[in-house]
């Protein structure tokens, strides 16, 4: 993460914030009016004590009271409106960024599933929204008036001013102390809650395996440990906040009484009027209110600030996709040159300087031992992982020249582990479209030879399935995944271990689907261990340790491999090494 990336992320967030600049200014103007109206109470006291009580005029009291009632009404209206504006600013901030944060989170998650920060993108956005719409932000608007009110008290009497400034300083010191004391606890709490949440979601998604392996108790203990830590941190953090909130509230009330006591003494000394005594006490309460509020709401402020920082990092690391000139539907011609791919978060390339070509109507088998880089190649070809070197061209254009949506349409993909999502079978085949095109769904299912299988399910294409699995067998899941790969008429289909769970009939159906796709001018890439999967392949690419060991017509490559292995065996036998 570079400073430049963080700066870009900060700038992006600030641009969205600036989109509500007018509303922020409106709140600022409202705050000036609200804080001027805060003087209503003290001024009323001054008038009552010094004018009404002195003159005994009931008419003056009624007139003053009417004015005060009106001013308080205005203050209430302004305060309420300011709060409403702030919550709308907050909602607008979230709405404007939701799409961007969702896609940035998804991109991060796809690139690096082990990076936990991806999941928090939306949470960070919510934390910022909560802060923007909270009374804490109103308190921040009121905070600049605190020193003004404190100086105002000094106008009544310098001693009162000294007490006010001293007391205010003590309260601010308490606030800063709270901030310093709460930060590490808040950070630890967020980390612990995150860990507990992730442990829980990992356990629930593997619930079946945990039960089958008799690991339920062990899983519970692990989750409980994570949860217990989070709970401990939560109690510690709340204790700190409650302690400081109580201390600051007590201090504020004490200061008001101290102000009253000092005022009373000054009245006795005939240096102050009774009205000024009461007014200064009220004014002090008003002056210190925002500080008090901020201490109470500090958790929210801290979450918001942290959310802002983390979101800036996420957005900086994941620049928004620039829209590209729409290219015509490509031919199924793939050209890969010197392709090097390093998995996210790793320093070592999983694929190095690999090259091959694929023409329309051809199928390429990619074989190699475990960890050879087959799935890495599939991820690079689907655009999920960006190459660190070399190029991938589809019909002459680099993959990066296509919009990711368009690329998803042109390149069908069956991942090694098929993952369905909550929805019906039809919605899953239609890649979660809200209104799946029935014809296209059925065509894809027929192409994958999954139509009859789907009709045999309780509600056919409308059978609900869940992301957590169930209902479907491994083979059925793979056939539905295959139908999804063929949905929307892709030009190239990439199948990662497509027959891992298929029986003979399934393998035959797969080969028929591949043949059909080639006949229609499409191309197919098959990452495979089992020989039956490469039956339809004209070409073969052999990977080993991320390097291209062989590439060419299938039978020629297989022949060379057999010859090589025979040579190795022979030389091994001659040296007495391998028997």
Ligand X SMILES: Nc1ncnc2c1ncn2[C@@H]1O[C@H](COP(=O)(O)OP(=O)(O)OP(=O)(O)O)[C@@H](O)[C@H]1O
Task: Check residue 436 for interaction with ligand X (CB under 6 A).
Answer: no
Distance CA 378, CA 351 (A): 11
The 3 state secondary structure assigned to 50-98 is HHHHHHCCHHHHHHHHHHHHHHHHHHHHHHHHHHHHHHHHHHHHHHHHH
Q: What is the closest distance, in whole angstroms, from the C-beta atom of residue 345 to ligand X in the complex?
A: 6
Distance CA 151, CA 165 (A): 8
Asked whether the beta carbons of 490 and 444 are under 8 A apart, the reply is: no
Supply the DSSP string of 325-362, one letter for each residue: PPPPPPPS-EEEEEEEE--TT-SS-SEEEEEEEE-TT-
Task: Check residue 479 for interaction with ligand X (CB under 6 A).
Answer: no
Q: What is the closest distance, in whole angstroms, from the C-beta atom of residue 543 to ligand X in the complex?
A: 7
How many residues sit in the footprint of ligand X (CB under 6 A)? 13
Residues from 219 through 238 that contact ligand X (CB under 6 A): none
- DSSP state, residue 534: G
Tell me the HSE value of 201 on the side-chain side, using a 13 A CA sphere. Answer: 8
Q: What is the closest distance, in whole angstroms, from the C-beta atom of residue 534 to ligand X in the complex?
A: 14
How far is residue 46 CA from its own chain's centroid? Answer: 54
Among 37, 101, 350, 454, binds ligand X (CB under 6 A): 350
Task: Check residue 451 for interaction with ligand X (CB under 6 A).
Answer: no
By CB under 6 A, which span of 3-11, 95-103, 314-322, 365-373 interacts with ligand X?
A: 365-373
Asked whether the beta carbons of 93 and 16 are under 8 A apart, the reply is: yes
Task: Check residue 349 for interaction with ligand X (CB under 6 A).
Answer: no
Among 372, 429, 444, 493, binds ligand X (CB under 6 A): 372
By CB under 6 A, which span of 46-54, 93-101, 364-372, 478-486 interacts with ligand X?
A: 364-372
Q: Which is nearer to ligand X, 86 or 542 (CB)?
A: 542
Distance CA 274, CA 296 (A): 33
Q: Which is nearer to ligand X, 188 or 206 (CB)?
A: 206
Among 373, 436, 481, 506, binds ligand X (CB under 6 A): 373
Q: Which is nearer to ligand X, 369 or 553 (CB)?
A: 369
Q: What is the closest distance, in whole angstroms, from the C-beta atom of residue 366 to ligand X in the complex?
A: 8
By CB under 6 A, which span of 196-204, 213-221, 307-315, 373-381 interacts with ligand X?
A: 373-381
By CB under 6 A, which span of 195-203, 292-300, 305-313, 374-382 interacts with ligand X?
A: 374-382
Task: Check residue 374 for interaction with ligand X (CB under 6 A).
Answer: yes
Q: Say which residues have a Cβ less than 8 Å from residue 555's Cβ, sequence separation at least 6.
A: none
Q: Which is nearer to ligand X, 167 or 373 (CB)?
A: 373
Q: Is residue 526 classed as helix, strand or coil in its secondary structure?
A: strand
Asked whether the beta carbons of 397 and 327 are under 8 A apart, the reply is: yes
Residues from 8 through 37 that contact ligand X (CB under 6 A): none
Task: Check residue 476 for interaction with ligand X (CB under 6 A).
Answer: no
Task: Check residue 42 for interaction with ligand X (CB under 6 A).
Answer: no
Q: What is the closest distance, in whole angstroms, from the C-beta atom of residue 496 to ligand X in the complex?
A: 7
Q: What is the closest distance, in whole angstroms, from the C-beta atom of residue 340 to ligand X in the complex?
A: 12
Q: CA dihedral defined by 121, 388, 342, 309, rounded to 10 degrees?
A: -20
Residues from 389 through 428 that contact ligand X (CB under 6 A): 416
Asked whether the beta carbons of 117 and 108 are under 8 A apart, the reply is: yes
Q: What is the closest distance, in whole angstroms, from the C-beta atom of residue 546 to ligand X in the complex?
A: 7
Q: Which is nearer to ligand X, 182 or 378 (CB)?
A: 378
Task: Check residue 352 for interaction with ligand X (CB under 6 A).
Answer: no
By CB under 6 A, which span of 97-105, 371-379, 449-457, 553-561 interacts with ligand X?
A: 371-379
Task: Check residue 364 for interaction with ligand X (CB under 6 A).
Answer: no
Two structure tokens written together for 161: 């001013």
Distance CA 272, CA 197 (A): 61
CA nearest to 542, candidates 521, 523, 522, 564: 564
Residues from 174 through 203 that contact ligand X (CB under 6 A): none
Residues from 110 through 129 that contact ligand X (CB under 6 A): 113
Among 28, 319, 371, 559, binds ligand X (CB under 6 A): 371
Phi and psi for 416 in degrees, rounded to 5?
-60, -40
Q: Which is nearer to ligand X, 44 or 356 (CB)?
A: 356
Q: Which is nearer to ligand X, 371 or 553 (CB)?
A: 371
Indicate the burial class of 222 (C-beta count within 10 angstroms; 0-12, 13-18, 19 or more): middle
Distance CA 350, CA 343 (A): 7
List the x/- string, 73-112, binding to ligand X by CB under 6 A.
----------------------------------------
Residues from 235 through 294 that contact ligand X (CB under 6 A): none
Distance CA 316, CA 14 (A): 12
Q: Which is nearer to ligand X, 48 or 339 (CB)?
A: 339
> Roughly what angle, to the nearest 10 degrees, separates helices 135-142 and 21-37?
70
Task: Check residue 365 for interaction with ligand X (CB under 6 A).
Answer: no
User: How many angstroms separate the Cα of 319 from the Cα of each of 5, 104, 376, 385, 490?
Assistant: 9, 8, 23, 15, 27
Buried b (16+ CB within 10 A) or exposed e, 249-287: eebbeebbebbbebbeebeeeeebbbbbbbbbbbbbbbb
Task: Check residue 347 for interaction with ligand X (CB under 6 A).
Answer: no
Q: Which is nearer to ligand X, 135 or 415 (CB)?
A: 415
By CB under 6 A, which span of 132-140, 159-167, 307-315, 366-374 interacts with ligand X?
A: 366-374
Residues within the interface to ligand X (CB under 6 A) = 113, 343, 346, 350, 368, 370-376, 416
């Amino acid at each position: 993460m570079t400073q430049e990336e963080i700066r870009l992320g900060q700038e992006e967030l600030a641009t969205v914030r600036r989109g509500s600049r007018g509303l922020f200014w409106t709140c600022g103007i409202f705050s000036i009016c609200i804080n001027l109206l805060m003087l209503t109470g003290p001024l009323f006291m001054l008038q009552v004590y010094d004018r009404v009580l002195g003159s005994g005029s009931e008419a003056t009291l009624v007139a003053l009271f009417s004015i005060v009632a009106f001013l308080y009404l205005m203050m209430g209206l302004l305060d309420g409106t300011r709060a409403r504006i702030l919550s709308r600013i907050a909602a607008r901030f979230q709405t404007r960024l939701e799409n961007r944060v969702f896609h940035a989170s998804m991109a991060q998650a796809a690139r690096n599933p082990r990076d936990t920060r991806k999941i928090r993108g939306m949470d960070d956005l919510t934390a910022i929204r909560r802060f923007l719409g909270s009374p804490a932000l109103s308190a921040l608007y009121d905070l600049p008036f605190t020193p003004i009110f404190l100086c105002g008290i000094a106008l009544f009497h310098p001693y009162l001013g000294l007490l006010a400034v001293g007391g205010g300083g003590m309260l601010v010191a308490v606030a800063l102390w709270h901030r310093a004391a709460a930060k590490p606890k808040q950070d630890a709490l967020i980390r612990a809650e995150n860990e507990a949440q992730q442990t829980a979601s990992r356990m629930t998604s593997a619930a079946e395996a945990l039960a089958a392996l008799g690991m339920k108790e062990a899983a519970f203990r692990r989750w409980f440990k994570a949860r217990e830590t989070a709970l401990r941190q939560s109690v510690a953090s709340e204790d700190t906040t409650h302690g400081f909130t109580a201390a600051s509230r007590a201090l504020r009330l004490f200061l008001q009484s101290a102000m009253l006591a000092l005022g009373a003494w000054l009245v006795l000394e005939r240096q102050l009027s009774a009205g000024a005594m009461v007014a200064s006490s009220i004014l002090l309460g008003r002056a210190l209110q925002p500080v008090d509020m901020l201490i109470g709401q500090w958790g929210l402020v801290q979450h918001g600030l942290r959310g802002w920082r983390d979101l800036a990092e996420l957005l900086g690391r994941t620049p928004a996709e620039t829209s590209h000139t729409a290219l015509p539907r490509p031919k199924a011609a793939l050209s890969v040159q010197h392709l090097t791919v390093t998995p996210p978060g790793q320093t070592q390339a999983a694929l190095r300087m690999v090259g091959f070509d694929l023409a329309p109507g051809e199928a390429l088998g990619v074989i190699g031992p475990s960890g050879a880089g087959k799935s890495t190649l599939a991820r690079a070809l689907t655009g999920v992982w960006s190459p660190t070197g070399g190029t991938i061209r589809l019909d002459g254009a680099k993959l990066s020249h296509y919009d990711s949506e368009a690329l998803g349409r042109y390149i069908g993909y069956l991942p090694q582990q098929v993952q369905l999502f909550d929805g019906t079978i039809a919605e899953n085949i239609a890649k979660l479209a809200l209104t799946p095109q029935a014809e296209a769904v059925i065509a894809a299912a027929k192409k994958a030879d999954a139509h009859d299988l789907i009709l045999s399910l309780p509600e056919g294409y409308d059978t609900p399935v869940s992301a957590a699995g169930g209902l479907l067998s491994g083979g059925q899941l793979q056939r539905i995944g295959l139908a999804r790969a063929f949905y929307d008429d892709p030009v190239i289909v990439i199948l990662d271990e497509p027959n891992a769970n298929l029986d003979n009939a399934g393998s035959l159906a797969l080969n028929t689907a591949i043949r059909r796709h080639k006949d229609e001018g499409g191309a197919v890439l098959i990452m495979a261990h089992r020989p039956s999967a490469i039956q339809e392949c004209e070409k073969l690419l052999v990977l080993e340790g991320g390097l291209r060991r062989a590439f060419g017509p299938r039978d020629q490559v297989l022949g060379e491999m057999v010859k090589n292995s025979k040579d190795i065996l022979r030389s091994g036998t001659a040296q007495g090494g391998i028997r």
